[in-house]
A = this chain, B = another copy of it.
Amino acid sequence: MEQNPSKKVQILESALELIKENGFHGCPISQVAKQASVAAGSVYTYFESKDEMILELYTYVKTEVAKKISEKDDPKKNFEARFFDLWNNVTSLYREKPAFQSFLDQFSSSPYNTEAVQLECDPLGQWLEAFFKEGVESGQLKALNPKIISIMVLGSLISLVRFTTYFKAKTASAAQDLHLIPQMVWDGIKFQS
């Protein structure tokens, strides 16, 4: 008998859900196992330790997000349209999979996120950088380091998602205007004649 890859994913998804609901605090192995319909001990056939499990979960989520975002891009459209597509794709992905957003957010600000982890392959970061590089080189964006543009755009985007997720109460009165934010961001990065 071999390790069952779908069971591994089951465990990861279970941990993801618990972390979304209760944070890192609230995902004891006992619960992760229960929700994944396996015994506590079985988690250790798939992962060396709980920490290893969390780190693999990070890789798993990062990869899933990058895949979904990149495959929805249509390079035949003009760059401005692709920018707004990107914006909408990320926001709707996170609305669809709130556990992804919640986990990435908690992970990023946690001590799990060491320098070593940051140096790992980051498919989403790489894809975004290439995307904005194209915009700069074709003269549609300001002549800036694509990495900087990435930071600024992803920053506003993540923050918007964070605000709408965590600060529901606060943004209720402003909710109908949130769609104006991508336009502001575009105005900030586009080449100004």
Q: Is the CB of A188 within 8 A of B184?
A: yes
A-B contact pairs, 13 of them (CB 8 A): A24-B25, A26-B111, A108-B166, A122-B170, A125-B170, A144-B180, A148-B178, A149-B184, A151-B171, A151-B181, A152-B159, A155-B156, A155-B163
CA A159 to CA B169, docked complex, whole Å = 21
Which of A113, A156, A166, A186 is most buried by chain B, counting CB atoms within 10 A of its CB?
A156
With A155-B160, A160-B155 known as contacts, the answer to whether A148 contacts B169 (CB < 8 A) is no
CA A158 to CA B163, docked complex, whole Å = 12
CA A124 to CA B75, docked complex, whole Å = 41
CB-defined contacts of A25 to chain B, threshold 8 Å: 24-25, 110-111
In angstroms, how far is the closest chain B Cβ from the Cβ of A176? 9
Q: Is the CB of B106 within 8 A of A166?
A: no
CB-defined contacts of A185 to chain B, threshold 8 Å: 152, 188
Q: Is the CB of A159 within 8 A of B151?
A: yes
How many copies of this kind of chain does the complex include? 2
A1 at the interface (CB under 8 A from B): no
Q: Is the CB of A159 within 8 A of B160?
A: no
CA A23 to CA B23, docked complex, whole Å = 12
In angstroms, how far is the closest chain B Cβ from the Cβ of A108? 6
CB-defined contacts of A187 to chain B, threshold 8 Å: 187-188, 192
Residue-wise interface mask of A (159-193) relative to B, using a CB-CB cutoff of 8 A (1 in contact, 0 not): 11011001111110110011011001111110010
CA A181 to CA B189, docked complex, whole Å = 9
- Tell me the A77-92 residues at the B interface (CB within 8 Å): none
CB-defined contacts of A4 to chain B, threshold 8 Å: none
For A186, the closest partner residue in chain B by CB is B188
In angstroms, how far is the closest chain B Cβ from the Cβ of A157? 8
CB-defined contacts of A21 to chain B, threshold 8 Å: 111
CB-defined contacts of A138 to chain B, threshold 8 Å: none
CB-defined contacts of A22 to chain B, threshold 8 Å: 111
